[in-house]
Amino acid sequence: MKRIVSPINQREDRLPPGQRWISSPIVYDIVDHIPEWDIGKYRFKVFGLVENPLELNYEELLKMPSVELIADFHCVTRWSVKDILWEGIQTSSLLSLAKPKGEARYVMVHSLDGYTTNMPLEYLLYEDSLLAYKMNGQTIPLRHGYPLRLIVPRLYAWKSAKYVWGIELLAKDAPGYWEQRGYNMRGDPWKEERYW
């Protein structure tokens, strides 16, 4: 299996401004209780401005070509964790199957708990962006995003949505859950794009 080290780990300014290193990620959710998802009914979709909409069950996702990714993880609340090991499917591979239409410029990511987050489509085309189903060698724990967590190392961690069921391609940018509440529409840690 191919292993990728995110380019953010090799930056001279590896720790973004205003951040501090801690040993493990702190868990945040928008709801108090995360249920045990029924994986038999789970479907992952890529839809919207695509030529070939995708709908895959969990077993089909696990059979797709996968990579390991080592990437730092930067939270907008000013903590960072070094070198988390993720395993999953590169988002660029899924998008190549879905065939984005020419007018597709942005994505909205949808999660099982009702969470959403937006970003420019280009971030899902980078080699170090993936849909992870393993974290540090184990099936990703429920509170860290099972069954699938989007990992976008180049943006603050609120963009790395947990419990992902869908990626919707859009022509125009639209705010997700935290963006509607004052968070930055992009969220680049090195530019400290935290809030409006």
42/155 Cα distance (integer angstroms): 27
User: What gap in Å lies between CA 63 and CA 123, rounded to an integer?
Assistant: 24
Question: Is 164 in contact with 110 (CB distance < 8 Å)?
Answer: yes
71, 8 Cβ separation under 8 angstroms: yes
Summarised one tens digit per residue, pLDDT across range 36-82 is 999 999 999 999 999 999 999 999 999 999 999 999 999 999 999 99
CA–CA distance from 31 to each of 4, 28, 34, 68, 100 (Å)?
33, 9, 7, 30, 32
Q: Report whether CATH 3.90.420.10 matches the domain 2-9+37-191.
A: yes
Mean pLDDT of the region 156-164: 98
Query: What is the residue type of 131?
Result: L
Residue 196 clears pLDDT 90, i.e. is over it: no
Domain boundaries defined on the chain:
2-9+37-191
Query: Mean pLDDT over all residues of the chain?
Result: 97
Q: What is the mean pLDDT of residues 143-164?
A: 98
Q: What does the pLDDT look like over 77-124, one tens digit per residue? A: 999 999 999 999 999 999 999 999 999 999 999 999 999 999 999 999
Please say whether the beta carbons of 75 and 157 come within 8 A: yes
Stretch (H or E) spanning 54: strand 54-56
Tokens at residue 42, please? 């789970």
Are the beta carbons of 86 and 133 closer than 8 angstroms?
Answer: no
On the question of pLDDT at 152 being above 90, the answer is yes
